[in-house]
Amino acid sequence: MRLVGLAFILCLPLISHAQCDDQKNEVWAAEACTKVRTYHSPRQSTHPRLMVVLHGDAPFHPPDYHYQLAEILASNSDNLIAVGMLRPGYSDPDGRTSDGAKGDAIGDNYDAPRVRQIAEAIEQLRDKYQPSNVILVGHSGGAAITGNLIATYPDLVDEAVLVSCPCNINQWRTDMFQLTGKSFFKGDLDVISPVDQVNDVSTNTHITLITGKEDPVARPTLSHEYFEALQKADKSAELITVDGGHEIFLSPPVIRQLLHITNEKQSELR
């Protein structure tokens, strides 16, 4: 399924030049410039694997840990291009900012326009690198976006890894209100959660859920609920529980699991 029309493709070079000056570190798609950092494994075939890594909501600090993870995975894999993608409206520690609205990081920024921007950026990367398959990895809010994206664009991603996922957004808001007492978490939002869209996920997409046993932010029950819904809908999914809390994205168990995914069934390098 193509995400952009012919007219967009025909005008892409002109718009890309006007809107995204650094083609190595930016992707023009959905009329937005999305910042990326790209890392290549030491050995690659003509059709490497492509992994895109999304950070969480990061309300207190500009995120860069998704870049760190992408670099680790590329350095320790064969036949992999790993791309850390800066979500819409976010700025990284270098002051680079992706186009789009950041939102308030209260469950409001996993909506259709943001998902579309990320999906079309992934498609541009797929067209550029011609990968053998595409893996999308998201942490926390990035995992919620991943779950919504694989339902909305079911032909785009071959494998999805959701780490510390608030996969039922309004239940997560209830949990956060109980945890923090902050009024902006009180009440439901008009949002669609990954758990609401399991029927739209392709049976060809394999989903791995990783949750920390002691996670107080995105409780393990949220990943369990999504996993059970995927199973009930006959989707390809597995659930892995590891030691730790919410900030497990760079933890050894998560890195080991991601390296297993990136290195299994590699095409013969040429």
CA atoms within 13 A on the CB side of 27: 27
Please tell me the total count of domains within the chain.
1
For residue 268, is it within any domain? no
192-244 residue pLDDT tens: 999 999 999 999 999 999 999 999 999 999 999 999 999 999 999 999 999 99
Task: Let me know how long the chain is.
Answer: 270
- The answer on pLDDT for 6 being more than 50 is no
- Which pLDDT score is estimated for 58? 87
CATH number, domain at 94?
A: 3.40.50.1820
- Which pLDDT score is estimated for 1? 44
In 139-209, alpha helices (H): 141-152, 169-180
Q: Which two tokens stand for residue 228?
A: 């059970």
For residue 11, is it within any domain? no
Give the three-class secondary structure for 102: coil
For residue 245, is it within any domain? yes
Query: How far are the Cα atoms of 8, 57, 91 from residue 61, in angstroms, in the given order?
Result: 35, 9, 9
- Which pLDDT score is estimated for 15? 35
Segments forming the whole domain that contains residue 67: 34-262
